[in-house]
């Protein structure tokens, strides 16, 4: 029997064997120490931690003392938005967070929390292609918000935002920009030093490190308050005994991802486009979401008219293909994805959408298998969806 096919790398990735090998000594043996301890065990752990900080910084094109390790992307996103709003309040400024409508829930919920704390949230629209409306950004900047947060690559549709241009506009208005680069880091080339983004979120498990490690890149310490209070670790910005093994893994994974970025981006773009061509060749009314915008190589988001995504995913799973949906099930009711809704995708099509996301171990043979199997699954699901009155 053929192996199951994993096309859900935007959700998470397997830990790379080299990464596992690099982190293991920091869980056991001689390197398990607390990096704040002065003895040799502590010094060994500290050396591993600082090396990891250097590796992550080098992969991003920034400075090691700007890398603040966190428990992942969600924590870093919350820290950026709420921490910046609190810092603005301390300075006597407006506690206002400006975010795009297609942000990850970690950002949208954090902006909402700012409102609950007595501040303001402003949600910026995107166009049909999923790109930020820059006029709306300019208007919001006139309010001198505490923070603007716009993601570099969207996790559902893969659309790339013009972050260099957005960063320039924010810098001109003297407003700090945060970008959630969780789906961009290691996938599209950038050198952070070239762009005036004040804060950047990254997460390890999207590029071959384990879950539970991420970082907030803090390029200006005055613009964020600490969210966790404790000892003085990580410059007091994010105290708590550091996840040394996780950080070492992240450093290694980041280095590998960036080393192979160019070749891997070309390979994944070819595979993604091949998958789209195979599927559209058999089912031409399928829509590729975000097709009119630049997209990251690893994400293919499809809208299947006359089908519902839950049933599609179930049938893909039965065929040993793992993908994910464009909708979230909350309180029992299936709601269309907020990203697709913000892009103006009709509700029915949004409810029939799904995402394939590719990774370093995805092969051409797997893509061909999915490309051959998917049209048959669509036919079956369309019949079922019609019979159940769901599409
Ligand atoms: C764009 C984006 N931001 C933030 C996160 C959250 O990261 P983590 O899973 O490390 O908390 C994810 C993960 O799904 C993501 O795709």
CA 78 to ligand 1 centroid distance, Å: 11
**Do 134 and 278 fall into the same domain?**
no
What's the confidence (pLDDT) of residue 328? 58
Q: Where are the beta strands (DSSP E) in 251-360?
A: 287-288, 299-303, 321-322, 324-325, 327-330, 333-336, 353-357
Which of 362, 369, 300 minimizes the C-alpha distance to 6? 362
C-alpha distances in Å from residue 378, one per residue of 42, 313, 317, 345, 364: 56, 10, 13, 19, 21
What's the confidence (pLDDT) of residue 14? 97
Q: Which atom number of ligand 1 is nearest to the Cα of residue 11?
A: 14
CA 178 to chain centroid: 13
Residue 245 clears pLDDT 60, i.e. is over it? yes
CA 202 to ligand 1 centroid distance, Å: 8
- Picking from 243, 259, 275, the residue at the C-terminal end of a domain is 259
149 CB within 6 A, ligand 1: no
What's the confidence (pLDDT) of residue 10? 97
**Do 278 and 213 fall into the same domain?**
no
**Do 195 and 289 fall into the same domain?**
no
Count the domains in the chain: 2
Q: 304 phi and psi, to 5 degrees?
A: -110, 100
What confidence category does residue 307 fall into, taking pLDDT thresholds of 50, 70 and 90?
very high
Which of 127, 191, 142 minimizes the C-alpha distance to 342? 127
State the average pLDDT for the chain. Answer: 95
74 CB within 6 A, ligand 1: yes
> In testing the pocket of ligand 1, which one of 74, 102, 200, 338 has its CB within 8 Å of the most ligand atoms?
74
CA 73 to ligand 1 centroid distance, Å: 5
**Do 247 and 210 fall into the same domain?**
yes
CA 37 to ligand 1 centroid distance, Å: 32
183 CB within 6 A, ligand 1: yes
81 CB within 6 A, ligand 1: no
**Do 125 and 142 fall into the same domain?**
yes
Residue 330 clears pLDDT 60, i.e. is over it? no
- Picking from 195, 227, 259, the residue at the C-terminal end of a domain is 259
**Do 243 and 116 fall into the same domain?**
yes
What radius of gyration do the chain's Cα atoms show?
Answer: 21
**Do 228 and 290 fall into the same domain?**
no
C-alpha distances in Å from residue 197, one per residue of 60, 167, 180, 204, 238: 12, 6, 10, 20, 20
Q: Give the bridge partners for 333, in sequence order.
A: 330
CA 183 to ligand 1 centroid distance, Å: 8
- Picking from 259, 281, 299, the residue at the C-terminal end of a domain is 259
What's the confidence (pLDDT) of residue 365? 98
- Residue 8 within any structural domain of the chain: no
Alpha carbon nearest to ligand 1 atom 4, residue: 73
Task: Give the residue, 30 or 360, on which the prediction is more confident.
Answer: 360
- Contacts of residue 150, defined as CB under 8 A and 6 or more positions apart, other chains included, come to 99, 100, 103, 124, 132, 137, 161, 163, 166, 177, 178, 179
158 CB within 6 A, ligand 1: no
Alpha carbon nearest to ligand 1 atom 14, residue: 11
Alpha carbon nearest to ligand 1 atom 16, residue: 155
180 CB within 6 A, ligand 1: yes
301 CB within 6 A, ligand 1: no
**Do 255 and 268 fall into the same domain?**
no
Query: What is the per-residue pLDDT across 47-96, written as a single tens digit (0 to 9) for each?
Result: 999 999 999 999 999 999 999 999 999 999 999 999 999 999 999 998 99
CA 309 to ligand 1 centroid distance, Å: 21
- Per-residue pLDDT, averaged over 224-249, amounts to 96
Q: CA 340 to CA 329: how far, in whole Å?
A: 15
SS3 state at 147: strand
SS3 state at 255: helix
Q: What is the CATH number of the domain that holds 37?
A: 3.40.640.10
Residue 390 clears pLDDT 60, i.e. is over it? no
Say if CB 173 and CB 186 are below 8 A apart. no
Say if CB 151 and CB 107 are below 8 A apart. yes
111 CB within 6 A, ligand 1: no
Describe the crossing of helices 261-282 and 364-388 by its angle, rounded to 10 degrees: 40
**Do 297 and 379 fall into the same domain?**
yes
What's the confidence (pLDDT) of residue 86? 97
**Do 249 and 299 fall into the same domain?**
no
Burial 213-230, CB ≥16 within 10 A → b, else e: bbbbbbbeeebbbbbeee
151 CB within 6 A, ligand 1: yes
**Do 175 and 268 fall into the same domain?**
no
Percent of the chain with pLDDT over 90: 93
Query: What is the per-residue pLDDT across 105-149, written as a single tens digit (0 to 9) for each?
Result: 999 999 999 999 999 999 999 999 999 999 999 999 999 999 999
CA 42 to ligand 1 centroid distance, Å: 31
> In testing the pocket of ligand 1, which one of 100, 182, 209 has its CB within 8 Å of the most ligand atoms?
182
- Contacts of residue 315, defined as CB under 8 A and 6 or more positions apart, other chains included, come to 377, 380, 381
What's the confidence (pLDDT) of residue 391? 52
- Per-residue pLDDT, averaged over 166-178, amounts to 97
What's the confidence (pLDDT) of residue 385? 76
Catalytic residues: 329
Q: CA 58 to CA 186: how far, in whole Å?
A: 12
SS3 state at 28: coil
Q: What is the CATH number of the domain that holds 292?
A: 3.90.1150.10
What confidence category does residue 387 fall into, taking pLDDT thresholds of 50, 70 and 90?
confident
182 CB within 6 A, ligand 1: yes
C-alpha distances in Å from residue 68, one per residue of 39, 135, 226, 234, 376: 24, 33, 11, 6, 47
**Do 162 and 147 fall into the same domain?**
yes
> In testing the pocket of ligand 1, which one of 12, 101, 104 has its CB within 8 Å of the most ligand atoms?
104
What confidence category does residue 334 fall into, taking pLDDT thresholds of 50, 70 and 90?
confident
- Residue 11 within any structural domain of the chain: no
Say if CB 137 and CB 115 are below 8 A apart. no
What's the confidence (pLDDT) of residue 331? 52
Q: 137 phi and psi, to 5 degrees?
A: -65, -45
What confidence category does residue 30 fall into, taking pLDDT thresholds of 50, 70 and 90?
confident
Q: 259 phi and psi, to 5 degrees?
A: -60, -40
Domain span at 346: 261-388
């Amino acid at each position: 029997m053929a192996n199951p096919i994993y096309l859900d790398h935007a959700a998470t990735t397997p830990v790379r064997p080299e990464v596992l090998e690099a982190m293991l000594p920091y869980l056991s043996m001689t390197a398990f120490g607390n990096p704040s301890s002065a003895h040799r065990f502590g010094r060994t752990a500290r050396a591993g931690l600082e090396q990891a900080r250097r590796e992550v910084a080098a992969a991003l094109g920034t400075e090691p003392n700007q890398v603040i390790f966190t428990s992942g992307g969600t924590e870093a996103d919350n820290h950026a938005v709420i921490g910046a709003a609190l810092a603005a309040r301390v300075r006597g400024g407006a506690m206002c967070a400006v975010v795009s409508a297609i942000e990850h829930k970690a950002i949208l919920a954090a902006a909402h929390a700012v409102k609950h704390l007595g501040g303001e949230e402003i949600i910026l629209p995107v166009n049909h292609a999923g790109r930020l409306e820059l006029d709306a950004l300019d208007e919001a900047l006139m309010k001198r918000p505490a923070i603007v947060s716009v993601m570099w690559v969207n996790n559902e549709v893969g659309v790339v935002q013009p972050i260099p241009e957005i960063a320039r506009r924010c810098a001109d208005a003297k407003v700090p920009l945060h970008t959630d680069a969780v789906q961009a880091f290691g996938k599209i080339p950038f050198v952070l030093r070239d762009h005036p983004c004040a804060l950047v979120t990254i997460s390890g498990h999207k590029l071959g490190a384990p879950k539970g490690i991420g970082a907030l890149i803090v390029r200006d310490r005055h613009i964020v308050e600490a969210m966790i209070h404790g000892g003085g670790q990580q410059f007091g910005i994010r105290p708590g005994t550091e996840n040394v093994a996780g950080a070492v893994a992240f450093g290694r994974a980041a280095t590998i991802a960036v080393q192979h970025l160019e070749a891997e981006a070309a390979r994944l773009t070819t595979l993604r486009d091949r998958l789209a061509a195979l599927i559209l060749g058999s089912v031409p009314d399928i829509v590729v979401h975000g097709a009119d915008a630049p997209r990251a190589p690893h994400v293919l988001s499809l809208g299947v008219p006359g089908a519902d995504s839950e049933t599609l995913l179930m049938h893909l799973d039965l065929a040993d293909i793992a993908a994910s949906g464009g909708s979230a099930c909350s309180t029992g009711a299936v709601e269309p994805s907020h990203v697709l809704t913000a892009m103006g995708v009709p509700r029915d099509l949004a409810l029939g959408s799904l995402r394939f996301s590719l990774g370093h171990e995805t092969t051409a043979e797997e893509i061909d298998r999915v490309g051959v199997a998917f049209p048959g699954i669509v036919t079956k699901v369309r019949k079922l969806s019609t019979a159940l009155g769901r599409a």
